[in-house]
């Protein structure tokens, strides 16, 4: 049976469990057992600290796992990257005290940088010919400059709020991360089939996320214009209405373009527009 490693608690836990739930896979998260059997798919769920997931998957303790690309790269474990999952987005950046006059990467030479990601930082320094001192610390990296432990930090940033609160300024964005589904390199054949099934479910969910199903009434004469407004998508579905002058147009639109398209469709006479959430797209 496939064994998946998920972060026990923290930023990736909820979204990992939500993704599995959308794929029809549930687990009782109430009792904090290390391992539980999932419902809806032949799978066991192993709850770990995110730092331990790359190694657990590389060793085959878990067959697959969900973890941030930052941890995969930092740990340098040999795992197969199966699917980026579109959540847990963040970057790892160099930040300096606000008052510092940062002149570019050469400013970093000879400085002390505090981080929980020494390997990614070392690679960045090597690529940019920088020689600086790396101070590895496990947590609360953002307070290191204020307490005199370092001149700058290399840490995870998402909104940037934590940096501002600590009087820091982001100066180099080095590494971009999101949550990824990974697998152990030599997954046995019979587990491969289950992984393919899981991948199929996850792909159909990820495809539908960020998409809306839109229906509207449209004057027949406006159909050609509507098709021009909706380029790049497969031809929209047209259904007749009892009134021969009107039809019903159905189309899937990415959320990012939704309101712009709706405004344009209204301008050419679309009425009674319904916007629905999409649950799955099976291609």
List residues near Mg ion by CB under 5 A: 50-51
Which residues are CB-contacts of 266 (< 8 A; sequence separation ≥ 6)? Answer: 273
Query: Residue 7 binds what, of Mg ion, ligand ATP, none (CB under 5 to 8 Å, by partner type)?
Result: ligand ATP
Query: Residue 16 binds what, of ligand ATP, Mg ion, none (CB under 5 to 8 Å, by partner type)?
Result: none
List residues near ligand ATP by CB under 6 A: 7, 10-12, 49-51, 68, 70-71, 88, 90, 156, 158, 177
Least distance (Å) between residue 92 CB and ligand ATP? 9
Rounded to whole angstroms, the Cα distance separating 89 from 259 reads 24
**Closer residue to Mg ion (CB): 116 or 166:** 116
**Closer residue to Mg ion (CB): 137 or 223:** 137
For the beta sheet containing 237-240, the strands, ordered from the edge strand earlier in sequence to the opposite edge, are 237-240, 246-254, 211-219, 271-277
Least distance (Å) between residue 179 CB and ligand ATP? 7
Least distance (Å) between residue 148 CB and Mg ion? 25
Least distance (Å) between residue 97 CB and ligand ATP? 20
**Closer residue to ligand ATP (CB): 70 or 166:** 70
**Closer residue to ligand ATP (CB): 156 or 230:** 156
Q: Which two tokens stand for residue 147?
A: 């307490």
**Closer residue to ligand ATP (CB): 142 or 172:** 142
Please give the sequence-ordered ranges of beta strands (E in DSSP) within the chain, or none if there are none: 2-7, 35-37, 43-48, 64-68, 80-84, 90-97, 112-115, 133-136, 152-157, 168-177, 179-183, 211-219, 237-240, 246-254, 271-277
Query: Residue 54 binds what, of ligand ATP, Mg ion, none (CB under 5 to 8 Å, by partner type)?
Result: none
The secondary structure of 169-237 as a DSSP string is EEEEEEEEE-EEEEE-TT--HHHHHHHHHHHHHHHHHHHHTTEEEEEEEEEGGGHHHHHHHSTTSPPPE
Least distance (Å) between residue 81 CB and Mg ion? 19
Distance, C-alpha 236 to centroid of its chain: 29
């Amino acid at each position: 049976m496939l064994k998946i490693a998920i972060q026990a608690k923290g930023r990736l836990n909820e979204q990992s469990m939500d993704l599995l739930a959308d794929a029809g896979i549930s687990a009782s998260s109430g009792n904090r057992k290390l391992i539980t059997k999932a419902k809806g798919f032949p799978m066991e769920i192993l709850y770990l600290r995110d730092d331990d997931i790359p190694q657990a998957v590389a060793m085959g303790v878990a067959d697959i796992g969900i973890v941030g690309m930052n941890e995969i790269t930092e740990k340098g474990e040999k795992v197969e990257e199966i699917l980026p999952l579109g959540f847990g987005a963040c970057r790892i950046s160099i930040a300096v005290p606000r008052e510092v006059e940062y002149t570019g990467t050469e400013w970093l030479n000879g400085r002390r940088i505090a981080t929980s990601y020494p390997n990614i930082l070392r690679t960045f320094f090597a690529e940019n010919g920088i020689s600086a001192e790396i101070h590895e610390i496990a947590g609360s990296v953002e307070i290191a400059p204020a307490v005199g432990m370092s001149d700058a930090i290399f840490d995870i940033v998402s909104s940037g709020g934590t940096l501002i609160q600590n009087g820091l300024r982001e100066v180099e964005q080095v590494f971009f991360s999101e949550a990824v589904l990974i697998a152990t390199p030599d997954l046995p054949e019979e587990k491969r089939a289950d992984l393919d099934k899981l991948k199929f479910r996850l792909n159909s969910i990820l495809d539908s996320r960020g998409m809306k199903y839109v229906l509207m009434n449209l004057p027949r004469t406006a159909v050609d214009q509507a098709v021009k407004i909706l380029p790049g998508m497969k031809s929209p579905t047209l259904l007749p209405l009892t009134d021969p002058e009107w039809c019903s147009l159905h189309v899937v639109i990415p959320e990012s373009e939704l309101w712009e398209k709706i405004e344009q469709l209204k301008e050419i006479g679309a009425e009674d527009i319904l916007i629905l959430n999409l649950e799955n797209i099976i291609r």
